[in-house]
Amino acid sequence: MSGKKKWRILLLSVLLVMLWVDVPIARSTDLTIDPDSYPIISDQEMGQMRWTLMVANQALDDYSNMEAQNQVGMTSYRYLIAFSSYFLATEQFHKLPAWTEALQPALDKSIQRMIQKPVWEFWAKTSQGVPNLEPNLNKPYPENRDPVSYRNIMYSGHLGHMINLYEMLYRDFKWDRSGSIVFAWADREKYVYDNHSLEKVMYEQMKNNPWHSIECEPNAVFPECNQHPVLSFILYDYTHGAHLSEVRDQFMDFFLKNKLIAPNTHQTAMCYLVKQKITISDQDPRFGNLLDLAVTPIISLGIVGLDSPSADGWTGAFMHAWQPDYIARHYPYQLKRLLKSGPEPTVRLKKEIWEPRSSYGFFAVYAAEMGDLKTRDGILAYADQTYQPAWLNGAYHYPYNLKQGCTNLTDRLLALGRANPKDGLWKMHNQPFDPEHFSEPKLSGVDFPKVLILRAIYDRDKKALIITVKPGDQKSGFTGFNIVQLDQKKSYRLLIDGKEINKYAGQTSIPVKINLDQERDLILMED
């Protein structure tokens, strides 16, 4: 074979190899974007989101569907509003980051509701003290009507956490404005704050209290409630360039020193009593007052226990967002201690006497955060069998029924557990939306709930917007929305169910028309 012929064959071979390599690369953008590889909202989850949105969007003086025994315990408005907000924030961050129209107004209104007097007026009485927690079984404190100035972290911690989640998610900073938070006791008695001053008053307590934490009721520090100011500080620092969250190191030192999670039993303590310098738990069931004559023996003998799936679940899930390794060491032992055998596919929990109506909800959130889907799904299966969930006009919820052990808070906790992915709370606080996120393509003008958005996620690496839609209240006909914030200098392709529909260039927004006959996947990608 001549040299020239060999050279031609070699050149042809190289060209064929180049073409063989190049063709798949040119097509790989389409092939590697699988919508099912991105998080999606399930049917029950969407139903719970619709129920939560419905309640959140009620008039501020309308407390229907928010039934509470009182404003002191776990059925109170503040907990319902706070955990409803954490559920909606989770959906916004993980599954709907490219569509804000439904959730932003509801989260904003939830903050507005949180500062209404019926939600916080309980503090005037509680601020005087809870006798059972005092050394002399008395109420030694003067009344304080300002719900955030001192103590009451069971309210202020949630308010701060809600506000700073909102500001991380949307960046409109409306709650930073001077006078944006007004607690109106009466026309001439108002306590005025903004996000900055609210964070400062919580920070100064955690920093300057010798116990480096903040009391809920006077004299009592609860481990779960103190997670929320820490997470609020972390988010505030990220969006404001501050350093408030550094105080968490002092809080953690206090937490470890006083064994708020016992290193040997892995049990979350009931609380720490400041004056008595006592951590109340099964290992040391003392209140440091005359209650000990009755309480200590029955706990020591095992007649009554302080073991609490609620405390373990609440503290564990939210502490995992800033102390993941520490919590991961405790979780397997807590799981072994608290889970009981039950009929498949349900999971049963050890019964607690303190707050049994929230134990399944809090532990569902915890299991989801830890990526333990078997336990999470087993708890949801138990809830579906026990709490008689109901569909109403496309909304799904577990109705308030104290006899069945279900409250409105139970419903929202189960929603959060259903929605939260593995490490979901950790990611939301440690990988928050960056400034670039707010200029990326997103949806606008969605006719919700005529059409339901099950996912709306912009993948920065693949330069693609992934959307899944489903018929909502209308099962036929067409609907439309816009994809906005496009780069006018770039060109795009729109695929629906894997088929290219159109190409676009030189536009900052494009209209999309959808047939409401079935669930559909849309991908808008850069050319």
In a domain, 435, yes or no: no
Tokens of residue 167, six digits: 């500001």
Tokens of residue 327, six digits: 């919590």
Which residue, 380, 412, 430, sits at the end of a domain? 430
* Rg for the chain, CA atoms, rounded: 26
In a domain, 136, yes or no: yes
Per-residue b or e along 285-321, where b marks 16 or more CB atoms closer than 10 Å to that residue's CB: bbbbbeeeeebeeebeeeeebbbbbbbbbbbbbbbbb
Q: What is the pLDDT of residue 18?
A: 38
Q: What is the pLDDT of residue 13?
A: 47
Would you call 189 exposed, middle or buried from its count of C-beta atoms within 10 A (0-12, 13-18, 19+)?
exposed
In a domain, 38, yes or no: no
Taking residues 127-131, report their average pLDDT. 98
Decide if pLDDT at 391 tops 70: yes
Whether residue 11 is found in the same domain as residue 64? no
Give strand pairing partners of 5: none
CB 111 within 8 A of CB 181: no
CB 227 within 8 A of CB 206: no
In a domain, 76, yes or no: yes
Residue 27 has a CB neighbour count (10 Å cut-off) of 10
Q: What is the pLDDT of residue 301?
A: 83
Q: Which run of H or E residues covers position 505? A: strand 499-505
The percentage of residues in the chain with a pLDDT greater than 70, rounded to a whole number, is: 94
What is the DSSP code string of 212-241?
SS--SSTTEE-TTTTHHHHHHHHHHHHHHT
Phi-psi region of 445 (alpha: psi -120 to 50; beta: other; left: phi over 0): left
Tokens of residue 393, six digits: 């006009």
Taking residues 95-111, report their average pLDDT. 98
449 cis-preceded (ω within 30 degrees of 0): yes
Taking residues 65-69, report their average pLDDT. 93
Whether residue 109 is found in the same domain as residue 200? yes
Cα angle 177, 101, 487; round to 5: 95
Q: What is the pLDDT of residue 342?
A: 81
Whether residue 162 is found in the same domain as residue 276? yes
Would you call 423 exposed, middle or buried from its count of C-beta atoms within 10 A (0-12, 13-18, 19+)?
middle
Whether residue 371 is found in the same domain as residue 467? no
d(CA 28, CA 462): 11
Whether residue 197 is found in the same domain as residue 227? yes
Decide if pLDDT at 377 tops 50: yes
Decide if pLDDT at 234 tops 90: yes
Taking residues 195-215, report their average pLDDT. 98
Residue 211 has a CB neighbour count (10 Å cut-off) of 17
Three-state secondary structure of 41-76: CCHHHHHHHHHHHHHHCCCCCCCCCCCCCCCCCCCC
343 cis-preceded (ω within 30 degrees of 0): no
Whether residue 28 is found in the same domain as residue 122? no
Q: Residues 462-499: pLDDT tens digits?
A: 999 999 999 999 888 999 999 999 999 999 999 999 99
Domain count, the chain: 3
CB 445 within 8 A of CB 508: no
In a domain, 452, yes or no: yes
- Cα torsion 45, 46, 52, 55: sign: negative
Decide if pLDDT at 28 tops 50: no
Whether residue 396 is found in the same domain as residue 469? no
* CATH number assigned to the domain comprising residue 289: 1.50.10.20
d(CA 379, CA 408): 17
Taking residues 227-242, report their average pLDDT. 98
Whether residue 263 is found in the same domain as residue 128? yes
Would you call 243 exposed, middle or buried from its count of C-beta atoms within 10 A (0-12, 13-18, 19+)?
exposed
* CATH number assigned to the domain comprising residue 445: 2.60.40
Q: Residues 179-201: pLDDT tens digits?
A: 999 999 999 999 999 999 999 99
Phi, psi of 392 (to 5 degrees): -145, 105
Taking residues 193-214, report their average pLDDT. 98
What is the DSSP code string of 279-332?
EESSSS---SSTTHHHHHHHHHTTSS----HHHHHHHHHHHTTT-HHHHHHHHH
pLDDT tier for residue 224 given thresholds of 50, 70 and 90: very high
In a domain, 87, yes or no: yes
Q: What is the pLDDT of residue 1?
A: 54
* pTM tops 0.75: yes
Which residue, 379, 396, 430, sits at the end of a domain? 430
Q: How far is CA 516 from CA 445, 474, 481, in A?
A: 16, 7, 13
Whether residue 513 is found in the same domain as residue 382? no
Q: What is the pLDDT of residue 2?
A: 53
In a domain, 37, yes or no: no
| Residue 6 belongs to domain spanning | 1-32
Q: Estimate to the nearest angstrom the gap between the alpha carbon of 260 and the chain centroid.
A: 23
CB 455 within 8 A of CB 38: yes
Which residue, 393, 411, 430, sits at the end of a domain? 430
What is the DSSP code string of 401-417?
BGGGTB-HHHHHHHHHH
Whether residue 27 is found in the same domain as residue 61? no
Taking residues 422-447, report their average pLDDT. 98
In a domain, 308, yes or no: yes
Decide if pLDDT at 17 tops 90: no
Whether residue 50 is found in the same domain as residue 23? no
Whether residue 378 is found in the same domain as residue 527? no
Residue 56 has a CB neighbour count (10 Å cut-off) of 21
- Cα torsion 161, 162, 163, 169: sign: positive
Q: What is the pLDDT of residue 201?
A: 98
